[in-house]
Amino acid sequence: MKSFEYATPRTVDEAVEQLAEQWGETEVLAGGTDLVTCLKQGLTAPKRVVSLKAVKDLKGISSTKGALTIGAMTTMGELAGNAGVQKHFPSLATAVKNIASPQLLSTGTVGGDLCQRPRCWYYRNGYGLLAQQDGKSLVTAGDNRYHAIFGNAGKAKFVSASSLGPPLIALGATIKTSSREIAADKFFQTPKSENERETVLNPNEIITAISVPLSGAENATYEIRHRQGLDWPYVTASVAKTNGGTKVVLGHVAPTPWIVAGNDAAQGAKPLSGNGYKVKMVKTAVKRALAAASNGASN
């Protein structure tokens, strides 16, 4: 790990000022569960790390005007343990509980979950976010069992690692940042070059809060995982049913959370050489999430 300087701003404005306008020059430190690993892996070598720990007003969950507002520095454990979240948003509570590691729940933050970098093993082994070598995709030619089956026509083949993205999109949440409000379904993007990241955030923009409307939607998340303890899911499905219809959002199947039709969730899937099995998993996860939402019981 290269050395860096460390800033501890106390306000959102101060934090923004400490951040550079170019990706990679500075990094935002929230819970650290992903950033510290990225630093060790040399995936980023910032000159400055800006810690949000001392920034006021980024923590806590409050209920206002028909919405639940979750501070970006709220830990995942606080989110899952919140009575309002458990009552109204079992899909969020389940998505967090499935992370299964008390250590990650106590330190990982809501904002950090949305901004964490992909776990693609080509990326994590230093071959770049898009894993290109000599103009070819290492992913396509290699072991892509955990890679994208949707939205993989471009160079990006990794899957979004966010646990909260799918349920937040299904629930129609809004992401508030230091400079704007972004609908959750507009928050993630598929990078087209190594200089882009997986969200629409600017390098000097931080998430301040997430607002989830209390729409009364029946909602649930179903996750297919290998280990019962800490593990990355194969596929997750988050659903929210309202009178207006059913929203189904998949996790870990595309470079972003992926919105699908509930009655034909696998439509448009384009598996790579080694991940066709995920199509079956998508169907199962959606079926079980829909059933759970009706029963009021997430897995």
Partner 1 sequence: MATAAWPGKKDRSLIGKSITRQDGPVKATGRAKYSYDLNPPGLLWAKPATSPHAHAKLVSIDTKKAEALPGVKGVWKDTDLIGEEVRYIGQIIACVAAESEEIATEAVALVEAKYEVLEHQVIDNDPKFATGRASEQEVGKVADGFAEADVTIEGDYGVPVITHCCMEPHGQVTEVRGGELYAWPSTQNVSRWADRLNDSVGIDRAKMHVDCQYMGGGFGSKFTYDKWGVIGTLLAKQTGRPVKLLLDRDLELAIAGNRPSGYTHIKLGVKNDGAITAFEGSVVGTGGGGGYRLRAFPYVFEPKNRKTTMKGIRTNRGGQRAWRAPSHPQTCLLTFSALEDAAAKIGMDAAAFYKKNLNLTARPDVYAEELDIAMKMIGYAEKAHLRTKLDAGPVKRGLGIAMHTWGGLGHGSECRVTINPDGSVKAEIGTQDLGTGARTVVSIIAAETLGLPLEAIDTRIGNNAYPASGGSGGSTTTGGISVSTRMAATDALNDLLGHAATKLGVAADKLEAKGGRIREMGNAAKSMSWADACKMLRTGSISKTGQNNRTEAQKAGLIDAGVGGVQIADVSVDTETGVVTLNEMAAVQDCGLIVNMKTCESQVFGGVIMGITSALFEEALYDPTTGRMLNADMEFYRIAGIKDVGTIKVHMMTGEEYEKRGIIGIGEPPVIAPAAAISNAVANAIGVRVPYLPLTPERVLNVLA
Partner 2 sequence: MTADEKTNMQGKGLSRRGFLKGVGAGGAVATIATGCSTIDRDGVVSLTPRGPENTPITLNINGRRRKLEVEPRVTLLDALRNRLDLTGAKKVCDRGTCGSCTVLVDGEPAYSCSMLAVEAAGRKITTVEGLGSPEQMNAVQEAFVENDAQQCGFCTPGFVVACTSVLDKNPDATLEEAQAGCGGNLCRCGTYVGMNQALMDAAKSLKGGA
Which 3 state secondary structure label does DSSP give 213? strand
Which of partner 2, partner 1, none binds 294 (CB below 5-8 Å, type-dependent)?
none
Structure tokens at 144: 């892509």
CA distances from 206 to 12, 22, 51, 105 (A): 8, 14, 11, 21
Which of partner 2, partner 1, none binds 52 (CB below 5-8 Å, type-dependent)?
none
Residues 6 or more apart whose CB falls under 8 angstroms from that of 235 comprise 223, 224, 250, 251, 252, 253, 278, 281, 282, 285
CA distances from 177 to 174, 207, 237 (A): 10, 4, 26
Based on the shown chain and the rule CB under 8 A, indicate whether residue 215 belongs to the binding site for partner 2. Answer: no
Residue 45 beta carbon to partner 1: minimum distance, rounded to whole angstroms: 10
Residue 207 beta carbon to partner 2: minimum distance, rounded to whole angstroms: 19
Based on the shown chain and the rule CB under 8 A, indicate whether residue 141 belongs to the binding site for partner 2. Answer: no
Which of partner 1, partner 2, none binds 145 (CB below 5-8 Å, type-dependent)?
partner 1
User: Of 222-251, which residues contact partner 2 (CB under 8 A)?
Assistant: 228-230
- Pairing between β-strand 207-213 and β-strand 67-71 as defined by DSSP bridges: antiparallel
Structure tokens at 157: 């083949």
- What is residue 254's DSSP assignment? S
Based on the shown chain and the rule CB under 8 A, indicate whether residue 3 belongs to the binding site for partner 1. Answer: yes
Scanning 18-26, 56-64, 74-82, 114-122 for contacts with partner 1 by CB under 8 A, the matching segment is 114-122
Based on the shown chain and the rule CB under 8 A, indicate whether residue 245 belongs to the binding site for partner 1. Answer: no
User: Of 20-79, which residues contact partner 2 (CB under 8 A)?
Assistant: 20-22, 25-26, 29, 32-33, 36-37, 39-40, 47-49, 51, 53-54, 77
**Among 16, 73, 4, 67, CA closest to 203:** 16
User: Of 130-189, which residues contact partner 1 (CB under 8 A)?
Assistant: 133, 138, 141-143, 145-146
CA distances from 132 to 17, 127, 135, 140, 173 (A): 34, 7, 6, 10, 34
Which of partner 1, partner 2, none binds 143 (CB below 5-8 Å, type-dependent)?
partner 1
- Where helices occur in 41-120 by DSSP H, the ranges are 76-81, 83-88, 90-97, 102-107, 110-115
Would the CA dihedral through 160, 164, 168, 174 be positive or negative? Answer: negative
What's the CA gap between 11 and 262, in Å, rounded?
Answer: 42
* Contact of 82 with 75, CB cutoff 8 Å: no
User: Of 201-240, which residues contact partner 1 (CB under 8 A)?
Assistant: 224-232, 234
Which of partner 1, partner 2, none binds 286 (CB below 5-8 Å, type-dependent)?
none
Scanning 9-17, 18-26, 83-91, 281-289 for contacts with partner 1 by CB under 8 A, the matching segment is 281-289
Q: Which residues bind partner 2 (CB under 8 A)?
A: 1-8, 10, 14, 17-18, 20-22, 25-26, 29, 32-33, 36-37, 39-40, 47-49, 51, 53-54, 77, 100-104, 106-107, 228-230
Q: Which residues bind partner 1 (CB under 8 A)?
A: 1-3, 42, 119, 121-122, 124-125, 127, 133, 138, 141-143, 145-146, 224-232, 234, 274-277, 280-281, 283-285, 287
